[in-house]
Amino acid sequence: MELAHDVVRLGFVGLGEAAGAIAAGLPGPAAQVYAFDARADDATVRERATAGGVALVSTPAELAQRCEVVIALTSGASAVTVAEELAGALRPEHVYADWNSASPDTKRRVAAVVEPSGARFADGAVMAAVPAHGHRVPVLLSGGGAEELRCRCAGLGMNLRVIGAEPGQAAAVKMLRSLIVKGLESLVVECVAAADHYGVTDEVLLSLDGTPDTSDWRALSAYLHSRVREHGGRRAVELDEVARTVSAAGVEPWLAEAAARRMRWAAETS
């Protein structure tokens, strides 16, 4: 599916840091970029608009009138409300993309608001820090409008990849990847807080070098599942002791206790 568009008229709902960084990299001759932001009087928003060559509009309806592609980049909490505000102005020629960090259920709710207008919906998951990549940030797409969005933006140098036809599939990848990434961050915080108490932080961190090998996550997942099936019960008992160690350091052992529960569950259901 290839669409012939000399100029892509693209609009952002929300001109925050992410949308501003994407807009700033879009090639001027190939893209006309607009944005609606409720904070349009804010100096930072206006600076982003100027830097990115973005024309600010006064209402969501005006944004829809000026653009064929609308990308919402506000917040997961406001995703449905934003879609509701725009739905009455959407037409069959629109692609409405929600690139907020939100659950699959939220993306499906947005699709249910958008699609009765005849517009196609594309669920988007931004998979890296936008300021570091600008308009080339990797974005996974799913939903009925995903392929059309990719094709319409094909000449803009964007890094868009369609992974499925259902709204929420792209969001599921983002959310479950975040479970690992943010979970690891939280584990390190809990671990180091307790290790500082015992004066062993350097030794704990040194002992982790190279463990585990994360160069192949599919192989690592298979290995970890096999270890849990074989030793999950015993490891849960060890994690109970870990929780006591963390608690004795004056740190609430939230993650240690949760890990013990999950280990028991995995051992019992494998």
Looking at the structure, tell me whether residues 126 and 226 fall in a common domain.
no
pLDDT in tens, 208-243: 998 888 999 999 999 999 999 889 999 999 999 999
What count of other Cβ atoms lies within 10 Å of the Cβ of residue 16?
Answer: 18
pTM of the model: 0.90
What are 4-32's pLDDT values in tens digits? 447 999 999 999 999 999 999 998 889 99
**91 in a domain, yes or no?**
yes
Regarding whether 120 and 39 lie in a shared domain, the answer is yes
| Domain-terminating residue out of 145, 173, 201 | 173
Do residues 129 and 24 both lie within one domain? yes
pLDDT at 173: 98
- pLDDT given at position 4: 41
Task: Indicate if 13 and 119 belong to the same structural domain.
Answer: yes
* Same domain, yes or no: 51 and 124: yes
The answer to whether residue 203 sits within a structural domain is no
Is 199 inside any structural domain? no
Residue 140: pLDDT band by 50, 70, 90 thresholds? very high
Q: Where are the beta strands (DSSP E) in the chain?
A: 8-13, 31-36, 55-56, 69-72, 95-98, 120-126, 138-142, 159-164
**In terms of domains, do 51 and 103 share one?**
yes
Same domain, 52 and 168: yes
What is the signed CA dihedral for 57, 103, 260, 224, rounded to 10 degrees?
Answer: -100
CATH label of the domain that carries residue 44? 3.40.50.720
Cα distances (Å, whole numbers) of residue 34 to 58, 72, 96, 195? 10, 12, 14, 50
**Are residues 216 and 151 part of one domain?**
no
> Looking at 117, 143, 173, which one is the last position of a domain?
173
Domain of residue 128, residue span? 8-173
2 within domain boundaries: no
Contacts of 176 (CB under 8 A, 6+ apart): none
Tell me: do 123 and 63 sit in the same domain.
Answer: yes
Q: Contact 57/63 with Cβ under 8 angstroms?
A: yes
| Number of domains present in the structure of the chain | 2
Task: Mark whether 58 and 129 lie in a shared domain.
Answer: yes
pLDDT number for residue 28: 83
- Does residue 69 belong to any structural domain of this protein? yes
The overall average pLDDT reported for the chain is 95
